[in-house]
Each structure stands twice: as C-alpha cells, then as structure tokens.
Chains A and B, each alone.
Chain A
C-alpha cells in the first residue's frame, strides 16, 4: 500500500510542477489562495474521523479539524473568486468609459 501511495504522490508532484510553471506572474496571488483552498482537502480526513463514534476524543478532534479545514476551503475558493473577477481585459475605446479615450487604444504592448 505504502509503495502505491508514494507512486501517486511523486507522479502528482510532477504534474503539479508542470501545470503551475505555466501560471503567469500576474495570477500568482490567486494561484496561491486557490491552491490553498485545495489543500483544505484535509476536510475529507476530518469528515472521516469526525464520523467515528467509537472514540469521543477522535470525534471532537475531527470536529475542530472539520471547522478549520472548511474555513480553509470555503474562504480560499471564495476569496480567489473575488480576486479573479477583478481581472479584466482592456475595454475597447468605442464602449470604454470617457477616461479611457485615445491614448489607451494602443492595446498594451509596444
């Protein structure tokens, strides 16, 4: 079992390196809060142990873990969404607000 788990871990790490290297700098903060929400997957572990009535201690520890992991998950995904909805493209001049008139029509890069 352990060997299989190690295999999965190592391969997943390679996938992680591969896809994360392609994220542009401008999105690094949302990337971080988004991956942070993903690390809240511990919530699954918390659910498993919080559901065990055989040990009240385990159950309470699981309960607290569940609350912490849920804050991590919900807070992480929501705040990432809040940030990402602010990233917008350049408005085209015809529909742009008056302030963004002639000069900005160049559309960015020189």
Chain B
C-alpha cells in the first residue's frame, strides 16, 4: 500500500515536470512553469522522506540544508554573463550525484555480502541476489555520471577561461580514448562473467565500479578538451542531455519511476538543443565532437581580402548615422557578453527609439556560449522579448533596414557562408546583414572569428568598422547621440 502511494506521488511529480516544461513554450507563462516543476520536485523529495525509514535524520537534514544553502548562494550570486558556466557546473554536480548513488548501491551489496554467506545478508537488507541487469544498470549509471561530471567541469573551465578555449589535443589522444572505451567494456564484462557461479561476488562489482569511475572521468575530459570555445553551446547542451541520462540510469538501478521519467525528459531536451545548435552551424554532431574546429589564427592572411580595404567610422559619425535611421537592427554576439555591454546597448536603443527609430535585435541560434545566451543578457538589460527576433523572423527584413549594428559577432554574419563553397562555414545559416543599407561592425580588432575564416562583410562597400571595446564604444555612441 505504502509502495503504491509513493509511486503515485512520483507520478504526480513527473506530471508536474511535464506541465512545467510545457509552460515554457512562452515567456509569459515560463516563470510559472518553472515554479510548477519546483513544486513537483518538492513533492518527490517529501514523498521519499515520508516513505523511507529515516534512520539517520542528522545526515539527511544536514545534507538537505547544506545543499540548499550552497545552491541558493550560487543562484543568487551568479551574473547573467556567467550562466553558461553555471549550467555546466550544475550538470556536473548532477552527474556526480548519479555516480555516488550507484556507488552507494554497490557498497550496500558489499556490506551485505560481508554479513552472511549464500545471500543471507542480502535478504536481510532487502537486496535481490546480484543479476546481470543490476550489474549493467549500476555500471552504466557510474559511467554516464562520471563522463558528465568531468566533462562538465572541463566545459566549466573553458567557459570561464581557466582552461584555454582553443581546441586541445595531443598525439595519441584518439588511441587513448579507444583504449579507455575498451577498458570500460572489459570492466562491464568482468563482473558479468563472474556471475556465472553461485557465489555473490559483490567484490567484483566493486572493482568494476572503481575502474569505470576512473575511465569515465578520463573519457569525459577527453570528450570536451578537443572542442573549441565557440562550440560550447553544443557541448553544454549535450552534457545537459547526459545529466538527464545519468539520472535515468540511476532510476534503473533503484527501479524508481520518478528518476526514469525526469531523466528521459532532460535527456530529450539536451539532445534537441544539441541538434538545433548543430543545424545552426551546418555541422554534424560528430563533426563538433571530433573537435579541432576553429581556434586557428594561422589563416589571418586572407586570400579573399587581398587588395580590399576596410572603411572605418568614427563614433561621432556612427552616432549621426544611427540617429537618422528609421529601422535599426542590432546583432549581438559573444563579444557583447564578454564586454558586459548589454545595458549600454539598451540605453542606446532607448535613445534611438525616442528619436523615432524602430530598434530590434537579431539573435542567431549559436550567438554566445549557450543556446539563448543573448536573450537572457538582453532580458537582464530590460529589453522586451518582443524585440528579440530569431534568424528566420528577421532575415527578410534586412533589406528594409537602414543601419545594422553588429556587436562582437563574426561568423554568424559572414556572407561567405552563402556563397563561398570552399569556406569551412559554407552552408551555415547566417543573418543576412549585408542586405541592409548600411552596416556598422563594432569589433576590437580585425582578428578572424572562431572559424578562423576572414569575414568578407568587413570589406563590403556598405560596411564601416568601429573599432574598440564594445561597452566603451557604445557608451561613447550614447554620449554622441545625446549631444546631437
């Protein structure tokens, strides 16, 4: 009876997660959706507390309090520009928790076996004899959790600059990955083979768990280090998916529906986001994962740019150009986040709007370091979400736009993606800013974008370059517009 009741409680929690995510289909209902999901989580936690015989209340309460306090602290301190790191770190913690829970199950088998031969100890602790399903689910949970944990923290390091954002590789890296994968397979096979005789063999499972935790951690590192900084949206999405799969795997270990349903939802979410990111770059997931893309500055000597020169524009001239425009589109990129220029651009947009301009923002799917990164930054700066337009919504409008202001974006506005079949970014969907009447590109220097490809937009006759730090330059523009 009690078991049935808790199953219904978990069903309710899972239903609330689904309703919560469903409400995220519009910014107007999304906040309530998140709250609904949080209530679902509370129900799952309370039901578990009530149903379990809690024999160590101190530890449980301590764990809940410490975790809540740290989580609250993190969530309230983090800056919006740091969201990608935050999500990466949280993914990692989820993966780590999965490893530990599976490991704890192994420890239960070990201590049960120590107590009584021939399964007497198992029976006393309510454990089934070890079978192939238990072994495989436990090891899978450890593996996925460990990959998620270490992969997420490498991504975290790359996102906050503690680890170089360039792709990192070394000779024999592929071979090492292959060997680790082999070792993992062997470590799963070993306890399975040992199951054949009648003894219980928790010690073999224990050994396999330790080996897989180690190979999983190393594989997670090797998975992420060869991937360059601007491909992080894909990596963060993928790790998000893994953290869900890790929870689902733990659900298989504990035969718990709440974990399986939630894990499947999150797993699906991450996969879909990864797919959207890959499509927005016209690259396959495999191509992203193999890594080594971008980071190269070797091709700085542009063939296409030979003989062409760029036009620069002074801030006062740019201010005049902007202030007489009727239609202005701002294209933000990662450079906007780095310079923390979201508030400055909003101030500029307000001034231009007061002068009668229609100012909108064009957001490329992979702008920034995670899906939707730019939208959050601009929302933080009080830009209403109706003003943020997706690529497909705005691309037709560029030909009717007076001035496009590109801030710290590069590859996503490179016309070569449409025309140059030899370019590494050929076929990537881009924002057609070159169709606008004039383009101002705000950039620190002429350095190539992430792809290492020269951007022919910069040499376009209707393009003018405004060099400098994004935030300072926009503040300068604000001052100039005010002075007009």
Question: What residues of chain A have their CB less than 8 Å away from a CB belonging to chain B?
Answer: 1-2, 5, 8-10, 12-17, 19-55, 57-59, 61-91, 98-104, 106-110
Contacts and interface: CB of A to CB of B under 8 A. Distances in A.
B67 interface: yes
Contacts of B386: 89-90, 107-109
B260 A12 contact: yes
A75 to B, nearest CB: 4
A69 to B, nearest CB: 4
Interface stretch (B30-38, B222-230, B303-311, B453-461): B30-38
Contact of A35 (B60, B76, B93, B244): B244
Interface in B262-283: 262-273, 276
Given A39-B247, A71-B67, A100-B353, A47 B83 contact: no
Nearest to B13: A41
A2 B136 CA distance: 12
The 3 residue pairs across chains A and B that have the minimum distance between CB atoms: A70-B67, A16-B268, A74-B71
Contacts of A71: 67, 70-71, 74, 90, 93
B302 interface: no
Contacts of A47: 45, 48-49, 52, 60
A82 B413 CA distance: 31
Given A57-B110, A86-B379, 16 more contacts: A16-B267, A26-B390, A31-B21, A32-B237, A35-B270, A38-B17, A40-B93, A52-B108, A54-B125, A58-B111, A66-B67, A70-B68, A74-B68, A86-B376, A86-B382, A99-B351
* Interface core residue of B34, B78, B251, B264 (most chain A CB under 10 Å): B34
B197 interface: no
Given A25-B390, A30-B30, A35-B265, A83 B83 contact: yes
Given A15-B18, A54-B108, A72 B372 contact: no
Interface in B360-378: 360, 363, 365, 370-373, 375-376
Given A28-B273, A77-B41, A86 B380 contact: yes
Contacts of B140: none
A87 B376 CA distance: 8
B371 A32 contact: yes
B397 interface: yes
B101 A26 contact: no
A72 B272 contact: no
Nearest to B64: A70
Contacts of A61: 100-101, 103-104, 107
B25 interface: yes
Contacts of A76: 71, 75, 90
Interface string B86-116: 1100110110111011011101101110000
A32 B75 contact: no
A102 B259 contact: no
A8 B260 contact: yes
A15 B40 CA distance: 17
B168 interface: no
18 contacts: A13-B264, A27-B27, A39-B240, A39-B266, A40-B94, A41-B41, A42-B97, A42-B246, A50-B104, A53-B55, A55-B112, A57-B110, A68-B97, A72-B90, A76-B75, A86-B379, A100-B354, A101-B353
A107 B386 CA distance: 8
Contact of B246 (A39, A54, A82): A39
A34 B97 contact: no
Given A46-B97, A61-B100, A100-B353, A79 B75 contact: yes
B376 A83 contact: yes
Contacts of A74: 67-68, 70-72, 75
Interface of B: 10, 13-14, 17-18, 20-22, 24-28, 30-31, 33-35, 37-38, 40-41, 44-45, 48-49, 52-56, 59-60, 62-64, 66-68, 70-72, 74-76, 78, 80, 83, 86-87, 90-91, 93-94, 96-98, 100-101, 103-105, 107-108, 110-112, 125, 133, 236-237, 240, 243-244, 246-248, 250-273, 276, 350-360, 363, 365, 370-373, 375-376, 379-380, 382, 384-390, 393, 397, 400
B388 to A, nearest CB: 6
A7 B359 CA distance: 50
A8 B261 CA distance: 7
Given A69-B97, A71-B70, A103-B358, A9 B264 contact: yes
A27 B375 contact: yes
B87 A33 contact: yes
B353 A39 contact: no
A89 B28 contact: yes
A65 B107 CA distance: 14
Given A65-B100, A70-B67, A71-B67, A36 B91 contact: yes
B63 A70 contact: yes
B75 A39 contact: no
Given A41-B259, A42-B250, A58 B376 contact: no
A32 to B, nearest CB: 5
